[in-house]
A and B are shown apart, each in its own frame.
Chain A
Amino acid sequence: MTTANGVTQLRVLTAEWIKLRSLRSTRWTLAIAAVSMVGLGMLLSWSFANRISDGRSQAGAGLVTVPVRGGIIAQLVIGVLGVLIVSGEYSSGTIRASLAAVPRRLPMLWAKAAVFGTTVLATMTTASFVAFFAGEEIMHRSPAHVSASLSTPGALRVVIGIGLYLTLVALFAVAVATIVRATAAAIAVVAGVLLVLPTLVSLLPPDLLGTDIARYLPSNAGAALLQAGPQTDMLTPWTGFVLFGLYVAFTMLLAARLLQRRDV
Chain B
Amino acid sequence: MIEAHGLTRRYGGRTAVDGLTFTVRPGIVTGFLGPNGAGKSTTMRMILGLDRPSAGSVTVNGRPYAQHCAPLREVGALLEATAFHAGRSAFDHLHALAATHGIPRRRVAEVLDQVGLGEVAHRRAGGLSLGMGQRLGIAAMLLGDPRTLLLDEPVNGLDPEGIVWIRNLMKGMAATGRTVFVSSHLLGEMAQTAERLIVVSRGTLIADTSVAEFLQRASPARVQVRTPQAARFSELLAGPGVTIVKLADDRLDVGGLTSDQIGQAATHHSITLLELSVHHPSLEEAFMGLTS
Contacts and interface: CB of A to CB of B under 8 A. Distances in A.
A261 B100 CA distance: 22
B66 A5 contact: no
Question: A-side binding surface: helix, strand, loop or mixed?
Answer: helix
B212 interface: no
Interface stretch (A11-19, A62-70, A119-127, A240-248): A11-19
Interface in B181-196: none
Contact of A93 (B68, B75, B83): B83
A22 B50 contact: no
Contacts of B45: 96, 263
Question: B-side binding surface: helix, strand, loop or mixed?
Answer: loop
B203 to A, nearest CB: 16
Given A96-B80, A264-B50, A102 B100 contact: yes
B68 A15 contact: no
A80 B77 CA distance: 32
Nearest to B92: A22
B97 interface: yes
Contact of B100 (A15, A93, A96): A15
A59 B59 CA distance: 69
Contact of A23 (B48, B49, B85, B140): B85
B140 A12 contact: no
A16 B92 CA distance: 11
Interface string A95-122: 0111111111000000000000000000
27 contacts: A1-B70, A3-B69, A5-B70, A5-B73, A5-B102, A7-B69, A14-B99, A15-B96, A18-B95, A19-B88, A22-B92, A23-B85, A24-B87, A25-B87, A92-B85, A93-B83, A97-B93, A97-B97, A97-B140, A99-B49, A100-B49, A100-B72, A101-B101, A103-B48, A103-B66, A263-B51, A264-B51
Given A5-B73, A263-B50, 9 more contacts: A5-B103, A11-B100, A12-B99, A18-B96, A23-B85, A24-B87, A97-B140, A100-B75, A263-B52
